[in-house]
A and B are shown apart, each in its own frame.
Chain A
């Protein structure tokens, strides 16, 4: 089976780039806190979604709408409206994380195809079957905690439910949707606000030695005068533990699975997802083209070509992350 390539689009321009570069699906979010990339200047209005769906459908591609934060108690209307609009505007699926919102969507929009967001952190077949049997979830985006072997076992256990896995981009080191580190430092979190380590709480301070990056009140990293100062994503910072300073949780690095594409295809994954709705259209186009080429090569029985994505990976560093057991 030919795996789908699912690509991010933070803007209508990126959607067109992704579709033109060979994306099978594009995923987007509305311009509010209903999705996990609630960044300034990003995301779609209702009208833009309608136009994006038309552009994609004319070219045989699908559009998925991520509504994957957790609705606030007392005011679920914003999230309910987002699901209703995704259905009304012809989205091919909604990507949801919250049990209550999934229950609502299944009840109010029985014809809307539902995918389980990575933010739901369904890490085993029992959890996935729960969402599938109770709410009709058709596909689950797996949390980035499983090895390729474990993914194969999950697929064997949950068919016909499909799985989607991240193949490239930013890398959460914690189980997604189960991390409150950002709100501990800033008051804003992925689950509640759709942001992690938000820019409004970031400061860069000049010191004699160079630049110190801070998130809220906390120093996340320091850089020398001739070093580029990276963005202070909390879990990619340098901290002191057990008597030494290190990238305790993870180095600033990007997930890149090009080299293990054959294994992921063999594991029975339905869809490959590229992270980065906050990225520009050139980035999206380059990554989509590389993975389109890679997947098509594997399916044709050829080795994965040596595609250089160094230029667009974080700090020029890449990892296969949790897909390889040694990462743990």
Chain B
């Protein structure tokens, strides 16, 4: 299949999952607006509602800058919604006019009351039946969960009315909890957490007792230690019907990272060259792509591409 036979692929910058300092977060999004070659940018706190008040005052400014730069803005919801305040905030988000909302919990999808919305990768979409149910509720775009393999993704993309998006770069969100492990690691309770997760802007590394890097803690979220890298797999996924790829913000030059993915999608950059440059942009990082190949998520399967 030739490149030109496929509709153009789009790039989404996922929401910043970490607790970056508000000014750093704002400046990051300003640079995204001004310099990053992505089609869509997600903004919003996904992991912990205690963090939201700090960046919230800057959100209108950030959205305006992104929109003025021609980016589609998506507002991402919290993933684990429990308290009355979290429910009220989700309702406000669902009532938003003008911007697409990304539901990261089933409750938010329901709150959309049939208006169009996007589904984030923290909602369990494993099969056509669930996909169809969400489409009937108004889902027009679905970013699939991390642990699906290529065959499953293909089966979903074949029947999807919604645009199918796949995570392609960055630490994978693997689990969410009511308990905060950033606080627990420092002998603090969640209620008195002192926002210590801000000290881990790329996640707190979790090693085994044999000093093998394994996971990364982002407050109440547990992520992969490895960065996902699907540069070599994007072509096959496009042929299978995937229309969109998601890059998760990490503490690396994300503008340069996005340029590599765009280059490979556009056919102007060879996969091997892009992988070499990606490794140089992410010094000391181990990459993984195992889930896509039906393996354990931490595995890196070398492709022949």
Q: List A residues 147-206 near B (Cβ within 8 Å).
A: 150, 153, 173-175, 177-181, 183-187, 189, 191-192
Contact among B106, B127, B217, B290 with A122 in the assembled complex (CB-CB below 8 Å): B106
The residue of chain A having its C-beta at the shortest distance from the C-beta of B173 within the complex is A180
Query: What are 19 pairs between A and B in contact, CB < 8 Å?
Result: A73-B128, A76-B127, A100-B128, A100-B131, A101-B129, A123-B80, A124-B81, A126-B110, A127-B107, A145-B80, A145-B82, A173-B177, A174-B175, A178-B124, A180-B145, A180-B175, A181-B215, A184-B215, A220-B208
| Residue in B145, B147, B186, B217 with the greatest tally of chain A CB atoms within 10 Å | B147
Pick from A5-13, A239-247, A274-282, A305-313 the stretch touching chain B: A239-247
Q: Is the CB–CB distance between A241 and B206 below 8 Å?
A: yes
Residues of A within 8 A of B133 (CB): 99-100, 103
A29 contacts chain B at the CB level, 8 A cutoff: no
Does A328 lie within 8 Å of B82, measured CB to CB? no
Which residues of chain A have a CB within 8 Å of any CB of chain B? 70-74, 76, 97-101, 103-104, 120-127, 129-130, 145-146, 150, 153, 173-175, 177-181, 183-187, 189, 191-192, 212, 216-222, 238-242, 244-246, 248-250, 322, 325-328
Which single residue of chain A is at the shortest CB-CB distance from B84? A153
Instruction: Give the distance to chain A from B228, nearest Cβ to Cβ, in Å.
Output: 11
Instruction: Tell me the bound Cα distance from A101 to B204 in angstroms.
Output: 37
How distant is the Cα of A73 from the Cα of B159 in the complex, in angstroms?
10
- Inter-chain CA distance A327–B128, complex, in Å, is 37
Which residues of chain A are near B82, meaning CB under 8 Å?
123-124, 145-146, 150
B211 touches A (CB below 8 Å) = yes
- B248 CB to closest chain A CB (Å) equals 15
A155 to B181, CA, bound (A): 29
Contact A98 B126 (CB under 8 A): yes
A279 to B133 CA separation, bound complex (whole angstroms): 36
In the complex the two chains form, is A181's CB within 8 Å of B185's CB? no
**A124 and B91 alpha carbons, distance in the complex (Å):** 12
Across the interface, which residues of B come within 8 angstroms of A187, CB to CB? 290, 294-297
Interface 0/1 of B215-229, CB less than 8 Å to A: 101000010100000
**Which residues of the other chain, B, contact A221 by a CB distance below 8 angstroms?**
209
Cα distance A273–B165 in the bound complex, in angstroms: 38
Q: Complex formed: what's the CA distance from A184 to B291 in Å?
A: 8
B80-124 interface bits toward A, Cβ cutoff 8 Å, 1 = contact, 0 = none: 111110110011000000000000011101110000000000101
Most buried by B among A71, A99, A101: A99
- Which one of A104, A178, A245, A327 has the highest number of Cβ atoms from chain B below 10 Å of its Cβ? A178
Contact (Cβ within 8 A) A238 B156: no
Identity of the chain A residue whose Cβ is nearest the Cβ of B152 in the assembled complex: A73
Q: Is B302 an interface residue (CB 8 A)?
A: no
Contacts of A145 in B (CB 8 A): 80, 82, 177-178
Is A183 a contact partner of B207 (Cβ separation < 8 A)? Answer: no
For A248, give its contact among B206, B290, B297 (CB under 8 Å): B206
- Nearest-Cβ distance from residue B183 to partner chain A, whole angstroms: 8
In the complex, what distance in Å separates the CA atom of A145 from the CA atom of B122? Answer: 16
Instruction: Determine the distance from Cα of A246 to Cα of B151 in the docked complex, in whole angstroms.
Output: 38
Given contacts A100-B133, A219-B209, contact A178 B90 (CB under 8 A): no
Q: A178-B175, A239-B214 are in contact. Are A183 and B110 (CB under 8 A)?
A: no
Q: Is the CB of B298 within 8 A of A184?
A: yes
Distance to closest chain A CB from B18 (angstroms): 16
- Answer whether A242 and B186 are a contact pair too, CB < 8 Å, given A180-B147, A328-B179: yes
Determine which of B83, B109, B206 lies in contact with A239 in the assembled complex, contact meaning CB atoms within 8 Å: B206
Residues of A within 8 A of B105 (CB): 123-124, 127
Instruction: Judge whether A100 and B107 touch: CB under 8 Å.
Output: no
Are A328 and B204 also in contact (CB < 8 A) when A101-B129, A178-B175, A180-B145 are?
no
> Smallest distance from the beta carbon of A156 to chain B beta carbons, Å?
11
CB pair B174–A322 under 8 Å, yes or no, is no
A184 touching B209, Cβ below 8 Å: no
Contact A100 B298 (CB under 8 A): no
Partner of B209, one of A185, A240, A326: A240
Contact residues, B162-200 vs A (CB, 8 A): 172, 174-181, 184-186, 189-191
Determine if A73 and B127 form an interchain contact, defined as CB atoms under 8 angstroms apart. Answer: yes
Residues of chain A within 8 A of B214, CB atoms compared = 185, 218, 239
CA gap between A97 and B126 in the complex, in Å: 11
Query: When the two chains form the complex, which single residue of A122, A183, A248 contacts B147, counting CB atoms closer than 8 Å?
Result: A183
For the complex, what is the distance from the CA of A125 to the CA of B91, rounded to whole Å? Answer: 12
Which listed residue, B127, B172, B175, B210, touches A179 by the CB 8 Å rule? B175
Of chain A, the residue at the smallest CB distance from B294 is A187
Whether A126 contacts B107 by the Cβ 8 Å rule is yes
A212 to B134, CA, bound (A): 45
CB distance from B229 to the nearest CB of A (A): 15
Is there contact, CB below 8 Å, between A222 and B209? yes
The residue of chain A having its C-beta at the shortest distance from the C-beta of B109 within the complex is: A130
**Chain B residues in 8 Å Cβ range of A99:** 106, 124, 129-130, 133-134
Q: With a CB–CB cut-off of 8 A, which chain B residues contact A325?
A: 191
User: What are the nearest 8 A-B pairs in CB distance?
Assistant: A100-B129, A100-B130, A145-B178, A130-B110, A126-B107, A70-B126, A73-B155, A184-B297
B59 at the binding interface (Cβ < 8 Å): no
B174 pairs with A179, CB closer than 8 A: yes
A126 to B, closest residue via Cβ: B107
Q: Which residues of A contact B224 (CB under 8 A)?
A: 184
Are B107 and A124 neighbours in the complex by a CB distance under 8 Å? yes
Give the docked Cα–Cα distance between A82 and B234 (Å): 36
B152 and A239: CB pair below 8 A? Answer: no
Q: CA A122 – CA B291 in complex, angstroms?
A: 26
Given contacts A123-B82, A130-B106, contact A72 B186 (CB under 8 A): no
Task: List, in ascending order, chain A residues with CB within 8 A of B127's CB.
Answer: 70-74, 76, 98, 100
